[in-house]
Chain A
Amino acid sequence: MSEALLSQKLVGDRLELTARGLWTAPHAAELEAEINRITGGSAGAKSEKTTDVAIDMAGVRELDTFGAWLLERLTRQWTNVGRDAVVTGLPQHGADLVEEMHGVNREAPPRPEHKNPIVSFLAAIGRGTTGFAGSFHTFAQMLGETGIAAARVLFRPSEYRLTSTVHQFDRVALQAVPIIVLITFLIGAIVAQQGIFHFRKFGAELYAVDLVGILVLREIGVLIVAIMVAGRSGSSYTAELGSMKMREELDALRTMGFDPVEVLVLPRIIVLIIAMPALTFLGSMAALYGGGLVAWLYGGISPDIYIARLTEAISLTHFSVGMIKAPFMGLVIGLVACAEGLRVKGSAESLGIQTTKSVVESIFLVIVLDGLFAIFFASIGM
């Protein structure tokens, strides 16, 4: 725009402003700048020289709420200090708009409080700590509620949701088989390769088989599977339950006399308790297979020797240690995922936050649990 939207002229002690052009949203930025220049300059409201102001709006071709508000803001500069501001030449439609704007922004908007950074830092730490305690609380609560629901179902087995369980089992266990087998196969192969590579320096390649066997059966098999399940199924549980909560589906269930924990949570957790050992077994076998393949191709250990060495190195105890841990990890993942899902609030953002929390917390708890089991098994000599 070449023409100025607002021009000023000082007549005696009276400031005369002439407005022109388009006072609309696309030009609001220039208009605001011009108004600031005039009110901030020597002829502005705070100046002693001018007593009042006259604004001629006849040259304005278009006026919208942006223009009307800026005009209102301009006149308020004078009226607020008790001087006169006269607006002339407004078309009818524009006058309505200015009238509408006359009442707005009268009360000061609530100012965001400026907080002391040290205080807010301490507050954040405090909130984080109580939040951590809070998640432990919801976890314990979910454990209790699931226990009660399980006990109820035990007395009235006909009420158990078998169809839902089968459907969930298909999603969580069967459909997870390919990816879990692939990942554990690769991990087994990598462990074997590393073992052979480093043990070769001592001429002890054969001990790589012991390494693979014990590590996979006791720790890696179950841990990798638990982490995969937490990322794959735990997150989907949280997102599912969370969006059901957002859409009031859980409230609907409750009003029909169903307990959401019994209908939605219990089948999901039971499925995880069953699926984890099954997937751990498959995963461990795949890892041993991968290790054997690498031992043969890379380490020159033939399958016969690999299997013979494996039989010597591992016992049923090692296998049981891994398998005993699996259902507990399934339980923890399921509880965390469902508890976080039920904590989702109204916004899409909160769904994202809870899903992240669900995965992070369940992986953390799985590793803590693994450590506790390690102490336990060591003390009973397994």
Chain B
Amino acid sequence: MSDKTPVIKVRDLVVGFGAQTVLDHLDMDVRPSEILGVVGASGAGKSVLLRTIIGLIPRRQGTIEVLGKDFERVGEEERRALERRWGVLFQQGALFSSLTVKQNIQFPMRENLEISQRLMDEMAFAKLEMVGLSPRDGDKFPSELSGGMTKRVALARALALDPEIVFLDEPTSGLDPISAGDFDELIRTLQQTLGITVFMVTHDLESLYTACDRIAVLADGKLAAEGPISAMLESEHPWVKTYFQGKRGSNLADRELVQ
């Protein structure tokens, strides 16, 4: 795949529930090996966009091509193969509560690869260490984990099959600023070593500054602005302006400039 071809190509997407239209003829591209941050007001449809791309919400109109394939137009077999090429981190972690941390990470491996238990154990521990946890945490149950650990385990599970794309739904929400900062750094490092594409829905301005290559702003069911952080600061769109140049946003921007 050449660097020019987008990994995710969304065209003319319409999604709605009942009388309400959430995404209104939206076009969007995600480039290979970038970290794209998707922002927008609460209820603007960020999570809906993510869930539509991964096929959890039906769309009314439009096409979504992920890795060159529109999974609504391919067969069951190819769709499953496509799903193996991405990993998803849900907002609440969505770990299986009746399985241990290790079993949670091994679940996708067990279902999709025919590898030995030894290799599976080693890979699970390797993934745990990659997200900054210790192998000793492997035997814990999700109910025994703190919020930050839950997110890390969920990320390890999302990375279990070495996906090409990782979808993150508010990865730093509910974390303290230090853990959130660590998490941003973790995502950045993993993206560099593994060369993955990251699609990240977030509210966290800090993440946008430190982790994201490009930012897409959702407003009124469309992309209001798109580009690196510098473009966001120059944007004239009212919501983008308030968001990035409001009290919290401009503080961060000043700090970044000083640095």
Q: Give A contacts to B, CB under 8 Å.
A: 24-26, 28-29, 32, 64-66, 69-70, 73, 93, 96-97, 100-101, 103-105, 107, 109-110, 112, 345-349
Contact = CB atoms under 8 A, between A and B. Distances in A.
A4 B151 CA distance: 39
B129 A348 contact: no
Nearest to B138: A109
Contacts, number: 78
17 contacts: A29-B115, A65-B123, A69-B123, A70-B119, A73-B122, A100-B193, A103-B129, A104-B125, A104-B129, A105-B135, A107-B135, A109-B138, A346-B97, A346-B141, A347-B98, A347-B141, A347-B142
A104 B126 contact: yes
Interface in B153-174: 159, 161-162
Contacts of A101: 126
A303 to B, nearest CB: 56
A70 B135 CA distance: 18
Contacts of B113: 25-26, 28-29
Given A25-B113, A109-B121, A96 B192 contact: yes
A24 to B, nearest CB: 7
A156 to B, nearest CB: 37
Contacts of A105: 122, 125-126, 129, 135
A349 B142 CA distance: 12
B98 A65 contact: no
Nearest to A73: B122
B193 A97 contact: yes
B115 A28 contact: yes
**Chain B, interface residues (CB within 8 Å), range:** 20 to 34
Given A26-B113, A100-B130, A109 B125 contact: yes
Contacts of A104: 125-126, 129-130
Which 9 A-B residue pairings sit nearest by Cβ, starting from the closest?
A: A346-B143, A347-B97, A349-B98, A64-B162, A104-B126, A104-B129, A96-B193, A109-B135, A29-B115
B195 interface: yes
B42 interface: no
A70 B115 CA distance: 12
A25 B193 CA distance: 16
Contacts of A26: 113
Contacts of A28: 113, 115, 119
